[in-house]
Structure 1
Amino acid sequence: MKVQEILSAIKQRKYKPLYLLHGEESYYIDVISDAIENSVLNDAQKGFDQTILYGKDVDFSTIISAAKRYPMMSDHQVIIIKEAQGLKWKGEEGVEMLAKYVDNLTPTTILVFAYKYGKFDKRTKLFKAIEKAGIVFESEKLYDNKVAPWIVDEIQQQGRKIHPQAAALMAEYLGTDLSKVANEVQKLILNVPKEREISVQDIEQNIGISKDFNVFELNNALGKRDALKAIQIVDYFAANPKSNPVVLVMGTLYGYFSKVLKYHYLADKSSQSAARELGVSPFFVKDYEYAARNFNKSKLFHVMTILKDYDLKFKGLDAGPNTSDGDLLREMIFKILN
């Protein structure tokens, strides 16, 4: 089931007696388990009929004994096993106990396993039994190019809009940790007036990412072969290394020039088709088209070689002993533009 379907069912008080929430992305595991923890019982009932346990501190015998009990003050009792990956899932007698319980679930118990930072073994009989008897949800890690669309969708679900460049800027700087991204999204929702679109300026004011000196502006300056602007941005990066780590800058430049090169080889360069093939918003396609005019295929292959060479230098290979990251960035940008 999809996360919104599960949350909708919980909101409608349509519960399952067993939930296995697993996967590499912890955000949605927390969202679903928190929804169950916070909405099934009221505060008075929780003291009697809600139990929160942690995988590394509990065994299956304790879990099953608790699950077989009946509620005292409500229609359901809730048992949530947080950090369930800490349980001993292999070669233990307790796993057999759980399998037997899955075959004969207590209908008034809602048992939740929040299994984070990895996938449950789908080949096991236990997984198949849980899948048949309850709800299994896999929270998949979001790839880098999916974070910006996720931000746009998350904000749209709250009846708001965000400029594509603002979403892309957030995605590039915040990475794929959805808990962190979601916190920043909520900050924007609270601080930006409802009647207008969230802009790049709002990102600067509320999240602290410069609207003028960031990796996207560097990409644009290089794509336009604007040497003055590119050096100004690199100077800013050199003066603010914590906000603009070299690893982020290099990763973004490599991704950008890879897409420019890919653009050259597209059979269909229409906005929608190119956006789909490049994995970007249609809003940005014109930037890649412009950059492709300034960088032919031969030059782009040379740029890739430059990026590879300087990646090694930033890691300490073949760089002078007194050469700073800022000096290397300036030198690299000069070679890209000449």
Structure 2
Amino acid sequence: MPPKPKADNAAYKQLKKDIDQGSIGRLYVFCGEEAYLRDFYLGRIKKKLLPPGMEEFNLHTLSGKEFELKKLEQMVDCLPMMSERTLIVVSDYDIYKGDKEGLAALFADLPEYVCLVFVYDLIEYKADARTKLAGALKAHGSVVAFNRQEQGDLVDWVKRRFKADGHDIDSEEARYLIFLCGDLMNGLISEIGKISAYAKHHRVTREDIDAVATPQLDAVVFQMTDAIALKDFNRAALVLGDLFHMQEAPIKLLSVLGRQLRQLYAARLALEARKGTGYLMELWGMRSAYPAEKLMQSARRFSLAWCRRAVIRCGEIDLAMKSTGADGEELLTQLLLELAGPGAA
């Protein structure tokens, strides 16, 4: 698996600088996975450009379903009222599927009082660099990708969110929370709120996190393989029962388990070759060292032969699910019994 290319955050950093310095541009495309950051900075632009109480006159919105170039042109022509600028927000419209030449001309002639933002939320932004429109966007605007944050930045943000709720959390527990619940801020905010409401002491503990946080599927599957490594079959069976109660399709559960076992096999091979977590992170495109460290710790409890056999059996169970019509939950239970059998550790 080739390593994921490092995200280009230059436009994101420039946007923050422009907002802080009051030099907000005339044209932006907001895209990327991190919806929390996208909404946060769109909110900052609104506060900077729109005087309180004048939003109704100076904020214009248009959805992709109702988009027409003529409507957008009319919004652009609307002069600001008791404000220096107007803000136009267009949501979920693919600019490369409409009148590209008309949009390119509009981009090149935007008045200085206009700030036009195309927001991609429900649809993905896919640029076509061959078009005149792409050149006009590059010349007159900026594509800001709100990517998942690096772990160090995300840990600091988690700590600040807990502090705002009257709690402290150390870095290791913050990393555990991110591993358990995912690294998207919108999801973490709700989990932080639940944990803050539940925690009885100033410092948040792992017990507080485990008591109320809702783990993502990958983390639950890891808990099952971790229990197998510790020879705790009862715990592994309980985790599998929890997975069934999630009402996810057995084939999806098997897919996640298969990926986990392949990563575990890769970690065991890395240990055999005396390679560290950095190699595993590069191999699987991991942004954070935490899951790689946990995989390496877990891999030390398994033999290379067990890891290889587990990956093979997972593939055979996958084939059985897709070709025999056998009950998926029974096949998963059978696989767990084999994994937890003699030679597991």
| 3-state DSSP of counterpart to 1:15 | coil
| 3-state DSSP of counterpart to 2:245 | coil
2:104 counterpart residue number: 99
1:328 aligns with 2:323: no
Task: Mark the CA change 1:125 to 1:323 in structure 2 (over 3 Å): closer, same or farther.
Answer: closer
Is the CA contact (8 Å cut-off) linking 2:224 and 2:240 kept in structure 1? no
1:168 aligns with 2:173: no
Partner deviation per Cα, 1:19-61 (whole Å, 9 max, x = no partner): 1223466554433333323553134111211111112112111
Task: Mark the CA change 1:42 to 1:183 in structure 2 (over 3 Å): closer, same or farther.
Answer: farther
Distance 2:64 2:133 in 1: 17
What are structure 1's unaligned runs of at least 5 residues? none
Alignment map for 1:251-262 (pairs within 5 Å): 251=258, 253-262=260-269
Structure 1 residue 81: deviation in Å? 0.7
2:76 counterpart residue number: 67
* Letter aligned with residue 118 of structure 1: Y
Alignment map for 1:295-310 (pairs within 5 Å): 295-296=303-304, 298-310=305-317
Structure 1 residue 100: deviation in Å? 2.1
2:302 counterpart residue number: 294
Is the CA contact (8 Å cut-off) linking 1:61 and 1:97 kept in structure 2? no
Normalising by structure 2, we get a TM-score of 0.74
Task: Mark the CA change 1:239 to 1:15 in structure 2 (over 3 Å): closer, same or farther.
Answer: closer
Structure 1 residue 187: deviation in Å? 4.7
| 3-state DSSP of counterpart to 1:324 | helix
1:235 counterpart residue number: 238
What are structure 2's unaligned runs of at least 5 residues? 1-9, 164-168
Partner deviation per Cα, 1:71-105 (whole Å, 9 max, x = no partner): 111111111111222x6x4463xx33332232222
How many residue pairs get matched? 317
Q: Which of 99, 116, 123 pairs up with 1:111?
A: 116
Task: Mark the CA change 1:295 to 1:47 in structure 2 (over 3 Å): closer, same or farther.
Answer: same
| 3-state DSSP of counterpart to 1:216 | helix
Task: Mark the CA change 1:22 to 1:333 in structure 2 (over 3 Å): closer, same or farther.
Answer: same
1:123 counterpart residue number: 130
Is the CA contact (8 Å cut-off) linking 1:52 and 1:79 kept in structure 2? yes
Distance 1:30 1:309 in 2: 45
Is the CA contact (8 Å cut-off) linking 2:228 and 2:236 kept in structure 1? no
Task: Mark the CA change 1:283 to 1:199 in structure 2 (over 3 Å): closer, same or farther.
Answer: farther
Partner deviation per Cα, 1:231-288 (whole Å, 9 max, x = no partner): 432234225523384534514632542333332354444x667666674536863762
Partner deviation per Cα, 1:99-127 (whole Å, 9 max, x = no partner): 22322221111111113423232332222
2:3 counterpart residue number: none
Structure 1 stretches of 4+ with a deviation exceeding 6 A read 146-150, 271-278
| 3-state DSSP of counterpart to 1:74 | coil
1:201 aligns with 2:207: yes
Is the CA contact (8 Å cut-off) linking 1:3 and 1:32 kept in structure 2? no
Alignment map for 1:1-338 (pairs within 5 Å): 1-23=10-32, 26-85=35-94, 89-90=96-97, 92=99, 95-116=100-121, 117-140=124-147, 151-156=154-159, 158=161, 161-162=170-171, 163=173, 164-171=175-182, 179-185=186-192, 187-188=194-195, 196=203, 198-209=204-215, 214-224=220-230, 226=231, 229-238=232-241, 241-243=244-246, 245=248, 246=250, 247-248=252-253, 250-251=257-258, 253-269=260-276, 279=286, 281=289, 285=293, 288-289=296-297, 291-292=299-300, 294-296=302-304, 298-313=305-320, 315-318=321-324, 320=326, 324=330, 327-334=333-340, 337=343
| 3-state DSSP of counterpart to 2:28 | strand
Identity across the alignment (%): 19
Partner deviation per Cα, 1:109-156 (whole Å, 9 max, x = no partner): 11111134232323322222222222221345x5xxx88667435325
Is the CA contact (8 Å cut-off) linking 2:79 and 2:86 kept in structure 1? yes
Is the CA contact (8 Å cut-off) linking 1:24 and 1:119 kept in structure 2? no
